[in-house]
Amino acid sequence: MTAAYIAVTVITIVANAAIAVADLAKARFVMANSAEVGVPPRSLPLLAALKAAGAAGLALGLLGFDLIAVAAATGLAAFFIGAVFVHIRARVFHNIAFPAAYLALAVASLVLAVVH
């Protein structure tokens, strides 16, 4: 395993696990952002589960389940493409860097998992 693959994947796992916990805890910033972009609060548990599943799949990839890592990274990339799209559709640009950063991590994890 390359150091870059491990480092980027671990960062992606931690970031997605942390935001999944924040979603489940209905953190103030999560609730404010969701309301601003038009995501109903009842959707947060599902969104948290998707992020947590992606993080878990990436973790399995570090344990040698390469195809699961690729699938997880692909799912996270698709998820965050959707998140960026939702921000654009709602014309909420002041914090679009956050879903874009998660998207960049997911894409980097995907590329490194495929190359790995």
What is the C-alpha to C-alpha distance for residues 40 and 26, in angstroms, rounded to an integer? 12
Kindly report the pTM of this predicted structure. 0.93
Q: What is the spatial distance between Cα 46 and Cα 68, in angstroms, rounded to a whole number?
A: 20
pLDDT at position 19, please? Answer: 98
Domain borders along the chain are: 3-115
CB 58 within 8 A of CB 111: no
Checking if the pLDDT of 1 tops 70, the result is no
> What is the spatial distance between Cα 93 and Cα 70, in angstroms, rounded to a whole number?
30
| Residue 112 near residue 9 (C-beta atoms within 8 A) | yes
DSSP per-residue string spanning 21-72: HHHHHT-HHHHHHHHHHT--GGGHHHHHHHHHHHHHHHHHHHTT-HHHHHHH
Reference 113, options 8, 21, 23; nearest CA is 8
Give me the pLDDT at residue 116, please: 85
Q: Are 86 and 98 in contact (CB under 8 A)?
A: no
> pLDDT tens digit string along 23-42?
999 999 999 999 999 999 99
